Amino acid sequence: MSNVKNSSSKNNWKKIYSSLTFILILFSHFTVYSQSSDFIYGKLIDSDSGEGIPFATITVKDLGKGVISNAQGDFSIPKTIQNMNDTLIISCLGYTSKYVNLKNLKKQELNTIALKVAIISLDEVMIKAKKVKSLSPKKIVKRSIEQIPKNYSQSPFSYVAYYRDYQTKSDNYINLNESLIEVFDDGFNTCDRMDTKIRLLEYKVNHEFERDSTLEINYDNFDSKFIPNARIDPSGGNELTMLMIHDAIRNYEQPAYSFMYIMKEDFLKNHKFKLAKIIKMEGGSFYVIDFKLSNPLSVDNYQVFGQLFINRDTYAIHKLFYSLFNTQKKEKQLIFNAQVEYAKHQDLMYLNYISFSNVFEMPNPKDFAITEILYDSKKNLLFVTFNNPYSPDVVSKLSNYKVKVDNKKVDVKEVVKDSLNNKKISLMLDDVSDFPKITNDDSNRLKIYIKNLNDTEGRILGERTYLNYKQYREMFVQQVHISWKEKPIFIIDKFLPLKDNKISKSTETQEYWMNTPLMK
C-alpha cells in the first residue's frame, strides 16, 4: 500500500568519495496503420468540449461483455464481434448512455463517438426532497459505508478483467505489460488480500511501445526508485495485488492507503464532506460529494481532493476518486491518484474498474559521475574514468583532487588528460617513501576525493538530480459472473511477478481481448 512519510529520500552529494574497489489530448479521423488489423478502434469524446472521456463502459449488448475506455477515451473491439451484428452500449457516470450499431463502425479509421453530459440538478431536487435537508453530506457518506454489506455481494463471485501496468514520461507509454485475468472473490465479508484467488489467462510484454529496463526495478523507498514524501509497502505483493489493495471499497475493513486507511474506521474522521451536486441519469439519481482532509490533518503538508458518487435510493457507492498531494513546496505535487468504480448487476454492485497511479523519481543516469578507478602501482598512477566527457577548463587544476593512503594525504603532482578519450584522466601521485608500498591487491587503502569538476553539458560531478515519471496500474472488468462458473485452478502466487506466474489455459480465453492503447 502507499503511505506518506515525513522526510525526503534524497541525498545531495557535494563531493565524490570512492575507494579503488569503486561500487558503482485534438483528434480527427485517421487511418489506423500501426494497430492490429484484427480490431476496430474508437474514441469517446465529450460532445461539448471534444475531450476524451476516460473510463467509460463499452458493453457488447448480446454478449454481456466488453471493455473500458482508457484515460484518453480510446477503446478497441475485435472485428469478429462486429460480424455478429450486435450493438454497443456506451455508458459513463455523468453522461447520457448511447447505443451504437457495430455494423456502422468503420474498420480502417478511428471511430469518434460523442457523448452528451447528463442532466445536472441540485436546488430543485433539494427543495423537493426533504430527506436531503435532514442528512448532511457526512451522514450520507456514513450511511453509504454502513450499507456496503447490503449493496455488495457477500457470496462468492468472479469476473474476467484486462489488467495492465506501465510508466509514462511526457505522456508516452513505457514498459507496457498486459494480461487477462480471472478473479475469484469469496465475497465482501472475506479478506480480499488473503482469500481472493486469481488465474492468469494471458500475459504480454508489449514491445510496440518504448521499453526501459532501468525503470522496472523495485521501489527501494530511498534513492534508486521512490515516491517523494511517500513509500510503497514491499510486503504488499506483486503488481496486481498492490493494485487491488487500493480498492478502498472492497477493502473497507482493511488498510488501503494513507488518510483513507481503513475506510470503515478512518474515512469519516479524517475528511470533511460537501454536497457538490445531484445528477439525474438513467438508473436513478446520485449524490456527488466532494471531500478533502479535515483541518487537523491539513497542516501536515498534505492535501486531498476526492469525490464520491452515491445512489440516492440505495446509498451504494458507484464511484470513488481520491487524489493526494504534497504541499511543502509552492506548487503542490501529486503523490497518487486512486479511482474505483462499481456497477450494478442483478441488484448488487460489482467492480467495473480500478485505476491507481503515482509519481516516482529515479536518479538521472546522465548525472556526471565516476565509472571506474584503476591504480598502476609501477607507475604510481591513478586512472579515473567518467561517464560523460569532462569540461577541459578546470580538470587540470591540482587543488580539485585529494588523495589519501592509509588516511594520510598524498600530493597529486600532475593531471594528465587522455588524448584519445575525453572521459578519462590520470593522476600522477607523489612518491612518498615512508608510506608502505601499495600494490594492486590492496589498493583499497587508497582513497580519492574530487571536487569542482563538470562535464561538457555543465553537470557538476557528484551532484544528484532526479527524473520524474508516473506509474500506472489499472484493471478493467470485461464480464462479471454472479457465481463461480468453474473451480479455480493454477492460482497465481500473489507475491510473484505476473510474468513469472503460470498461465492457466481456458476455453473461454478467446472470448476476451486486451484493450491495448492506441499508438500515437
| Average pLDDT score over residue span 362-375 | 93
Gap between the Cα atoms of 151 and 345, Å rounded: 11
Highest mean pLDDT: which of 97-111, 312-326, 501-515? 312-326
Residue at grid coordinates 457523448: 115
Return the SS3 of 265. Answer: helix
DSSP class of 392: T
Residue 135: beta bridge partners?
none
Cell of 266: 478512518
500 sits in the region (left: phi over 0; alpha: psi -120 to 50; else beta) called alpha
Q: What is the pLDDT of residue 443?
A: 64
Indicate if the pLDDT at residue 26 is higher than 60.
no
At residue 197, φ and ψ (nearest 5 deg) are -110, 150
pTM over 0.95: no
Q: What is the mean pLDDT of the chain?
A: 86
Query: Considering Cα of 495, then 497, then 499, then 500, what sign does the dihedral take?
Result: negative
Contact 42, 105 (CB under 8 A): yes
| Average pLDDT score over residue span 247-252 | 97
> E strands, 36-83, where?
39-46, 57-60, 65-68, 74-78
pLDDT tens for residues 144-192? 999 999 999 999 999 999 999 999 988 899 999 999 999 999 999 999 9
Cell of 257: 492507503
At residue 45, φ and ψ (nearest 5 deg) are -130, 155
Q: What is the pLDDT of residue 35?
A: 61
Contact 284, 125 (CB under 8 A): no
Cell of 290: 466532494
Return the SS3 of 316. Answer: coil
pLDDT-based confidence at residue 19 (cuts at 50, 70, 90) = very low
pLDDT-based confidence at residue 298 (cuts at 50, 70, 90) = low
Q: How long, in residues, is the chain?
A: 520
Cell of 230: 511517500
Q: What is the pLDDT of residue 485?
A: 65
Indicate if the pLDDT at residue 27 is higher than 50.
no
Q: Please report, as a single letter, which amino acid is at residue 196.
A: T
Indicate if the pLDDT at residue 314 is higher than 60.
yes
Indicate if the pLDDT at residue 325 is higher than 80.
yes
| Average pLDDT score over residue span 104-132 | 73
Q: What is the pLDDT of residue 123?
A: 54
Cell of 159: 469476473
Gap between the Cα atoms of 288 and 308, Å rounded: 6
DSSP string across 131-188: HHHHS-HHHHHHHHHHTHHHHB--S-EEEEEEEEEEEEETTEEEEEEEEEEEEEE--T
Q: What is the pLDDT of residue 10?
A: 39
Q: Please report, as a single letter, which amino acid is at residue 172.
A: N
pLDDT-based confidence at residue 328 (cuts at 50, 70, 90) = confident
Q: Which helix or strand (DSSP H or E) is residue 292 part of?
A: strand 284-293
pLDDT-based confidence at residue 258 (cuts at 50, 70, 90) = very high
Q: Please report, as a single letter, which amino acid is at residue 443.
A: S
Gap between the Cα atoms of 282 and 94, Å rounded: 10
Which candidate, 485, 512, 473, 487, places its Cα nearest to that of 202? 512
Query: What residues have CB less than 8 Å from 18, skipping those under 6 apart?
Result: 370, 373, 447, 448
Indicate if the pLDDT at residue 259 is higher than 60.
yes
Gap between the Cα atoms of 89 and 95, Å rounded: 12
Q: What is the pLDDT of residue 38?
A: 85
